[in-house]
Amino acid sequence: MNDDMIDKKAREVFDMVAQRATDDDMRRLRDAFSLAREAHASQFRKGGDPYILHPIAVAAIVAGTLCLDVNSVIAAFLHDVVEDTPVTIGEIRDRFGDDVAAIVSVVTKPQKDHYDATKQVDNYRQMLASLKDDVRPILVKLADRLHNMRTLADMRPDKQMKIAGETDYLYAPLATRLGLYDIKTELENLSFRFRCPHEFEEITSLIQRDRDAQRIRLDRFNDQLREVLKNAGIKATVFTEYRRPYSVWRKMHKYGDDFNHLKYRHFTEIIFPSREPVVSDKEMALRVYSALTDRFKEKPGGISNYIDSPKENGYQSFHVKLLPDFGRWQEVHIASDKMYHDSALGCVANRNEQWLEKFREVLRDIPEAGRDGSAFIADVVASFYNDDIMTFTSAGTPVVLPQRSTVLDFAYEVDEALGSHAKYARINGFLSSIKAPLRRGDVVEVFTDEKVSPSADWLNAVTTYKARKAVSDYLVSQPRPRYDRCHHCLPIPGEEVIGFFNHKGDITLHKRDCPTAVSMASQFGDSIVSVDYEPDQTLYPVTIEVTAVDRFHLFIDLVDTISNTLNLAIDTITTTTTDSIVKCRISFGIHSFGELQTIIHHIALIDGVDEVKRLV
């Protein structure tokens, strides 16, 4: 590519910025391009193009797609010079000021002799930490990643997988949380294309085939919509938009459907000109909705009102499902041109930043948690989610959560103490477990008990970073058990036990008749240690099996003995009866072997009981 073409592409960037820049801004912008061009003069991309084309492309995304300020565009031109050339941050600061230097510093991968985690993780930490003060460095980094993904075909397959993988795992979800719908969509589809090329091509082909097959009736439906709106005196643009391959793939996996049975592969957009403050966008959307439902049947329960209840990244629209003449429900999105524009620009657009501040709070907390690299990334990604649901307290306060959240997530989002002592809940008035999943619009009441505290199984029932951190912190704060128990014989205090030191210096306890202990004693006799295994406040889960002759009131007598006479809380109880012989399995927690013997003795005295034994 010759110099004239490079100059032409650079001028296109200058033209994008010129209308919102001063003469001095333009001088600095041209100076930044000249510095980048000189610094990268001897470098080429993997595909053979001059390297300077990459900074120009990134600057074009920052200036044109994201419409950022001049300093961000300058930083885009210079984003690789410190990492790949002799130019220093100090030189950039001297020529372009502290603001530009700060942005370039964030997007420059750290070069260290020793990384806190790995080079990649430290780079993520540096990038995400900047969001506490300024969103622009992350936006420049997303523009850099977007152009790298557009040119990924020039890389080796192993590099393609690495870059596509981290794009799908971190950068596309990050764009989602920042409300950058167009960038998010392109990133995740480019990633899908390089990670799973055969699936990508297959779904792309299926979409095109469906587009061709449905074109006539969808065009007719759109024409009918336009006619309805025209008759109602409403100006609007109407068009059909097919979901992109990655979105289709994700929905296929979510619902377990193949392509042909997947609902809502496409949707219809109705975009009307915003007339605020004369008429609110909400009122106009409702006028459109009213006109459409006078002509078409509306699916019961098919409304999603994202105008009154925006998604957490700021997305607003009014969704409704209508039944056209060809007899299949069609999803229709109604929005103003401002809403449609903002859904593409997200945090760059003028909107409420409450959701962004919430994400900043998470990022402020994560580095202080002392987690390792993989845990750090997992914590961050937990705060990125593709879609959210709005739930409500009984007082009507909205609580926004990721899809697949549970009552526990809800409780911790409202208040940490509410989550830590949650015992049961009511969802829309119905009694529910604290692990029950929530759906959009659920009204949730959480009931507590001071005796309740988090347990390890809660980690499998929470989704949000806030809930996971609270549960993990509580579990870590608890005294570590003095011993590890053999997973086969599961000894309890008061039983005859023997201990073995392992290579870490920890002691594992076994019952003396445990086959594993017998085998280890013959091989590692020097690691045997005597142990006083005394009971404490720890509850050990056990299951007993009761065999009895069936009779009236037998079950009540069993429960009464365990709950009232022995004051034990039953975890589970199951019974089967075959030819008047009852087998009853009861699970509960005990402190010691002596306590278990007392329980077995009391149950054995119940009329009709033939045998009581512990199951291991």
Three-class secondary structure assignment of 343-355: HHHHHHCCCCCHH
Helix (DSSP H) and strand (DSSP E) numbers for the chain: 24, 19
Strands in 507-511's sheet, in edge-to-edge order, are 484-485, 507-511, 497-501, 528-529
Q: Cβ–Cβ contacts within 10 Å for residue 156, how many? A: 9
- The CATH architecture to which 387-477 belongs is Roll (3.10)
Task: With CA atoms as reference, report the closest residue to 393 among 401, 382, 384.
Answer: 401
- For every residue of 478-540, DSSP letters joined together read SPPPSSEEPTTT---TTS-EEEEE-TTS-EEEEETT-HHHHHHHHH-GGGEE-------S--E
* Contact between residue 449 and residue 421 where contact means Cβ atoms under 8 Å apart: yes
Active site residue 241: no
Candidate ranges 230-244, 390-404, 504-518; pick with highest mean pLDDT: 230-244
pLDDT, tens digit, 9 for 90 and up, residues 430-478: 999 999 999 988 999 999 999 999 998 999 999 888 898 899 999 989 8
Q: Which residues contact 493 (CB under 8 A, 6 or more apart)?
A: 533, 534, 535, 536, 540, 591, 592, 593
Q: Give per-residue burial for 544-558: e unless 16+ CB within 10 Å, then b.
A: bebebeeeeebeebb
- Residue 573 one-letter amino acid: I
Instruction: Please state the rounded mean pLDDT for residues 376-391.
Output: 71
pLDDT, tens digit, 9 for 90 and up, residues 551-564: 999 999 998 998 88
- Rg over alpha carbons for the chain, rounded to the nearest Å, is 32
- The strand pairing partners of 332, in sequence order, are 268, 320
- The strand pairing partners of 334, in sequence order, are 270, 318
Query: What is d(CA 121, CA 127) in angstroms, rounded to the nearest whole number?
Result: 10
* pLDDT computed for residue 367 by the predictor: 52
Task: With CA atoms as reference, report the closest residue to 175 among 221, 216, 135, 224.
Answer: 135
Structure tokens at 539: 């509850």
**CATH of the structural domain 3-197, one choice from 3.40.50.2300, 3.40.640.10, 1.10.1660.10, 1.10.3210.10:** 1.10.3210.10
Q: Where do the domains of the chain lie?
A: 3-197, 202-348, 387-477, 484-529, 540-615
Strands 398-402 and 388-393: antiparallel
* Contact between residue 578 and residue 530 where contact means Cβ atoms under 8 Å apart: no
Q: Cβ–Cβ contacts within 10 Å for residue 111, how many? A: 9
pLDDT grade for 115, boundaries at 50, 70 and 90:
low
- The strand pairing partners of 570, in sequence order, are 588
* pLDDT computed for residue 234 by the predictor: 96
- Residue 332 one-letter amino acid: V
Task: With CA atoms as reference, report the closest residue to 148 among 187, 185, 178, 177.
Answer: 187
- Residue 271 one-letter amino acid: I
Instruction: Please state the rounded mean pLDDT for residues 370-386.
Output: 62
Query: What is d(CA 53, CA 585) in angstroms, rounded to the nearest whole number?
Result: 71
Q: Cβ–Cβ contacts within 10 Å for residue 325, how many? A: 9
Report helix, strand or coil for 266.
Answer: strand
Active site residue 83: yes
Structure tokens at 390: 């709005």
Report helix, strand or coil for 454.
Answer: coil
* pLDDT computed for residue 292 by the predictor: 97
* pLDDT computed for residue 343 by the predictor: 81
pLDDT grade for 238, boundaries at 50, 70 and 90:
very high
Packing angle, helices 373-382 and 354-365, rounded to 10: 160
- Using the predicted structure, report yes or no on whether residue 142 has a pLDDT greater than 90: yes
**Which of 7, 15, 38, 83 does the annotation list as catalytic?**
83
Task: With CA atoms as reference, report the closest residue to 378 among 146, 159, 124.
Answer: 124
pLDDT grade for 176, boundaries at 50, 70 and 90:
confident
Homologous superfamily (CATH) for 202-348: Beta Polymerase, domain 2 (3.30.460.10)
Q: Lowest mean pLDDT: which of 81-90, 122-131, 169-178, 416-425? A: 122-131
Query: What is d(CA 162, CA 426) in angstroms, rounded to the nearest whole number?
Result: 45
Structure tokens at 122: 């430290």
Packing angle, helices 70-78 and 136-150, rounded to 10: 50
Q: Write down the CATH number for the domain with range 540-615.
A: 3.30.70.260
* Contact between residue 377 and residue 387 where contact means Cβ atoms under 8 Å apart: no
pLDDT grade for 309, boundaries at 50, 70 and 90:
confident
pLDDT grade for 483, boundaries at 50, 70 and 90:
confident
pLDDT, tens digit, 9 for 90 and up, residues 57-102: 999 999 999 999 999 999 999 999 999 999 999 999 999 999 999 9
Long-range (24+ apart) CB contacts under 8 A made by 574-580 are: 577/550, 580/549, 580/550
* pLDDT computed for residue 369 by the predictor: 46
**Which of 84, 91, 99, 210 does the annotation list as catalytic?**
84
pLDDT, tens digit, 9 for 90 and up, residues 399-443: 988 888 999 999 999 999 999 999 999 999 999 999 999 998 899
Query: What is d(CA 487, CA 188) in angstroms, rounded to the nearest whole number?
Result: 43
Report helix, strand or coil for 55.
Answer: helix
Average model confidence (pLDDT) for the chain?
89
Rounded to 5 degrees, what are φ and ψ at 67?
A: 55, 45
Report helix, strand or coil for 578.
Answer: strand
* pLDDT computed for residue 312 by the predictor: 72
pLDDT grade for 491, boundaries at 50, 70 and 90:
very high
